[in-house]
Chains A and B, each alone.
Chain A
Amino acid sequence: MNGFDDFSRPMEYISPLDRHFRSVLRRYIEQEVMPFRRQYDEDWKDHAIIEPAFDKLMGELGLQKALFPPEHGGWGITRSDYIFRFAYMLCEELGRADTGMAVALAVTFWPLLVILVEPFVNERLIAEFAPMFCNTKKAVFAANAMTEPQGGSDIENMGLLRGRTIRTTARLEGDQWVINGHKLWPTNSGGAASLFGVPCTTRPGSDDLNDFAFIYVPAGAEGVTQGGPYEKAGMAADKNGDIFFDHVRVPAWYRAHGPGSDAEAFYQLIPFGQVASSAFLTGAMMNMYERLNEFVSSRTYRNRPLKENDAVAAIIGRIAGDIDICRILGHEAAMMGDRRNKPYGLPLTSEELVGKIRNIKDFISDRAVENFGKAMDVLGLYGPDRDWDIEKHWRDIKIIQLWMGGKQLCQMESARYFFNCETV
């Protein structure tokens, strides 16, 4: 093995953009993010160091335009047949440096996917929001505000609960939606986002998917209040906080698609989120391998490099083997998404696709949590030391296992598909 790039991925799955774009992106990340990431934890509130890096990546390099069609100044990625694989590449490269930064970028795409991916395209809203992201060299963030104080998992558990627990309400008054509610924790809240995608209910307590509405709310709209960022165990580059909607009015056409279609288009976000999460994790694990390799080659047990001790070799061999397997699985999950329009593919909203992709993400999360913990133990005294980078990833990636409804929801969606469960 020559380096971290040699971890397996099915080469037939690699998108045409991969090689060129990956190398440009990697250069940027190695110059603008990696040398500074050890200082990010202390910058969680102000983003004084983090924000310029975002400006470079999202604004100057232009990543925030990627999804929008060329006629609006974007790169048209959502019209390609490799959007999942493109996203995987992007999230993996960024995840190698900093998964907090990776999620902040990926979640900017997240609510926009609801109106940009066939068959759910809303040209009027694309034209409305594209300039915000495409006509600037500053980083602009969006947020997908699902989680509410009473719980996030239930809102993502559309298959079983069908929006019944959502408390944020949308009422149509003339040609405007009036929104009331409290969301918390979305990536890019805490004052970062300029635009929110907000899952609401038009009839509280209803499990009729026609009553589910996905409505866009500009952060500056009257009645929107944001709290400051929460202090967390990790993921300093991602700000998370409270958002209050108090009689917020937006035009009626800010609703993504309409009754029934909103729920379907929103449900597509689950596979996108899970594939991106898998990519954050394999990227972070590839960086773990780099740092671990340096340690076990230069430090010793019984006066021989750690990696030359059979017992240690068994441990690090397992870690690297897991990274290899996870990367193959992650690419398979991305490919499942990109096959959606093929005759043999599955729609993004199918129980089979959601169950299988959640299953892969759950598997990769578990391997990542375990292997980062193990890698810290291999470093022993130096495991908790920030200069070795592994502890930062260890803190950051734990939440990837927990977000989007958590590990248990992944297990349930997998069981639901594989065993036709009806109540779990």
Chain B
Amino acid sequence: MIGNLEGLFLMPEKGIDEETQGVVTLVRRWADKEVIGDRLEYRRNYPSRFDEKRKTLFLAMGLQRLAVPEEHGGFGWHTPGRMRHVLRVLTEIGRADCSTGVLLAMNCALFTVVTRFCDGRNGLTDSLASSYLEDEMKTASCILTGPGHAGRETPLFKGRSILARAAAAGESATVSGEDLRPLAAGLAADRFLIVCADSDGSPCLALVPVDAPGIARSERVKAAGLDALANADISLDAVTIPKDHLILDQDAVSYLSACLNLMLGGVSLGAGLNFFEIVSDWSDSRVIKGGTVLKENPLCASVLADTAEEIACAGFLLHDLAGIMPLTDHPGPSGMEAVYTYSAMIGAKAQQGIMRAINRGLELMGSAGYAREWHAEKHWRDVKTIQSIMCGTGAEAPVKMDIARFFYNCSEI
């Protein structure tokens, strides 16, 4: 490959201090040495290698504590100002393996939301943080809104059905819901962050540990990608949680969605960058038309350009999105609502762009792109999986409604 990724995919570097650069460099080294440099072995023994490499990253290198506040012994990357750094790290991880990136993203999203909305309820942050400092891997899984079922009315969050219900009573609260589909890792999770409707039907968040009585999980769901993250549907039968595990603030739901759009965008961006490296190597050495190096054929070059262009633009958009995360502190429509809308818009654009980049690049790789051996197809499946789960339901339509509502004040869509 010509040049290095930084030299090719320019990103706004504002505010990357030495400490952050150090973490990014460490994670890149982990990706190159532990995963990318050992792809064949990693692929052949995926479940065991995945756990082993994730352990190195999460525990030995300590990234499990990335978004744990500093005063609780973490890196403290949980504030809006830190989002661009989180994005950088998740991009490096996604370059190696989307599944690992998705797990870290969900953990980071959890702390980002909890620390912001549980101000004054330090008990929750304390207990959560101390469990993340243990020498044991933690997995948080998010359950967002879903498609509703015809004939069954549910409370809504921006048109999307809220399928879980939460009710506070005294010092505790109960959470119920049937067949809820987590974004990922429903079988492996030790806690769920669930979008619920409170007793008034308003959106809120509940943090539910999996060992709480009343939780049932379905069989493993087989999925197109993110192979390492065994998912399952979750049912909660009046599960009791402490009251401080309930975040009764609609903004928390918006913020969670914004964080996930950004963070999972970063994971997909990483996969896109590694795909670029793969297709770049291929186009440097593959010969077509009886003697032309693939990249020197004008048609192939234009397809290669599409791939690079989509990835570069997605990177720019995501970095800009990270840059506006601090706006969530602003009151009024230019604050949380704006960031929510921009994150939905940019999240969808970035995922679509990266997916298009991979789809086009695969066109040039013939059968090699389709073979597991080359790893290109894994990025293709993983990114598509992330794209679809972040879409929610209805393809781009719900996000278009969010955008129209924000920009045109629509009130009935």
Q: Is the CB–CB distance between A154 and B393 below 8 Å? A: no
Q: Is the CB–CB distance between B223 and A391 below 8 Å? A: yes
Contact A394-B224, Cβ < 8 Å, known A161-B290, A311-B401: yes
Contact A380-B373, Cβ < 8 Å, known A147-B367, A301-B398: no
Q: Is the CB–CB distance between B299 and A411 below 8 Å? A: yes
Question: In the complex, what distance in Å separates the CA atom of A394 from the CA atom of B385?
Answer: 11
Count contacts on A: residues with CB < 8 A to the other chain. Answer: 64
Q: Is the CB–CB distance between A408 and B396 below 8 Å? A: no
CB of A406 closer than 8 Å to a CB of B? yes
Q: Is the CB–CB distance between A384 and B389 below 8 Å? A: yes
| Residue of chain A at shortest CB distance from B392 | A380
Residues of B within 8 A of A403 (CB): 366-367
Q: Is the CB–CB distance between B367 and A185 below 8 Å? A: yes
Q: Chain A nearest CB: distance from B375 CB in Å?
A: 11
Q: Which of B147, B221, B364, B373 contacts A306 (CB 8 A)?
A: B147
Q: Chain B nearest CB: distance from A296 CB in Å?
A: 8
Q: Chain A nearest CB: distance from B157 CB in Å?
A: 11
Contact A386-B222, Cβ < 8 Å, known A232-B377, A379-B393, A380-B388: yes
Question: In the complex, what distance in Å separates the CA atom of A379 from the CA atom of B221?
Answer: 15
Question: In the complex, what distance in Å separates the CA atom of A131 from the CA atom of B154?
Answer: 64
Q: Which of A232, A301, A424 contacts B371 (CB 8 A)?
A: A232
Q: Is the CB–CB distance between A300 and B288 below 8 Å? A: no
Q: Is the CB–CB distance between B370 and A383 below 8 Å? A: no
Q: Is the CB–CB distance between B396 and A377 below 8 Å? A: yes
> Please, what's the 1-or-0 string for B216-240, where 1 marks a CB less than 8 Å from any CB in chain A?
0000011111100000000000000
Residues of B within 8 A of A379 (CB): 388, 393
In B156-176, which residues have CB < 8 Å from any A CB? Answer: 156, 159-161
How many residue pairs at the A-B interface have CB separations less than 8 Å? Answer: 182
Question: In the complex, what distance in Å separates the CA atom of A240 from the CA atom of B299?
Answer: 28
Q: Which of A111-119, A137-145, A368-376 contacts B (4 or more CB under 8 A)?
A: A368-376
Q: Which of B287, B391, B401 contacts A383 (CB 8 A)?
A: B391
Q: Which of A231, A376, A378 contacts B372 (CB 8 A)?
A: A231
Q: Which of B161, B226, B289 contacts A160 (CB 8 A)?
A: B289
Q: Is the CB–CB distance between B367 and A402 below 8 Å? A: yes
Question: In the complex, what distance in Å separates the CA atom of A385 from the CA atom of B393?
Answer: 13
Q: Is the CB–CB distance between B371 and A154 below 8 Å? A: no
Question: In the complex, what distance in Å separates the CA atom of A378 from the CA atom of B397?
Answer: 9
CB of A414 closer than 8 Å to a CB of B? no
Question: In the complex, what distance in Å separates the CA atom of A234 from the CA atom of B156?
Answer: 37
CB of A121 closer than 8 Å to a CB of B? no
> Please, what's the 1-or-0 string for B278-313, where 1 marks a CB less than 8 Å from any CB in chain A?
000000001111100000000110010000000000
Q: Is the CB–CB distance between B149 and A300 below 8 Å? A: yes
CB of A164 closer than 8 Å to a CB of B? yes
Residues of B within 8 A of A383 (CB): 224, 388-389, 391
Q: Is the CB–CB distance between B370 and A402 below 8 Å? A: yes
Q: Is the CB–CB distance between A301 and B300 below 8 Å? A: no
| Residue of chain B at shortest CB distance from A374 | B395
| Residue of chain B at shortest CB distance from A382 | B181
Question: In the complex, what distance in Å separates the CA atom of A237 from the CA atom of B183?
Answer: 30
* Residues of chain B at the chain A interface (Cβ within 8 Å): 146-150, 153-154, 156, 159-161, 181, 183, 221-226, 286-290, 299-300, 303, 355, 359, 362-367, 369-373, 377, 380-381, 384-385, 387-389, 391-398, 400-401, 413
Nearest first, the 4 closest Cβ-Cβ pairs linking A and B are: A383-B388, A380-B393, A299-B147, A300-B148
A-B contact pairs, 14 of them (CB 8 A): A41-B222, A152-B367, A233-B381, A311-B413, A312-B395, A369-B359, A381-B388, A382-B181, A382-B393, A383-B391, A385-B221, A385-B222, A398-B380, A406-B363
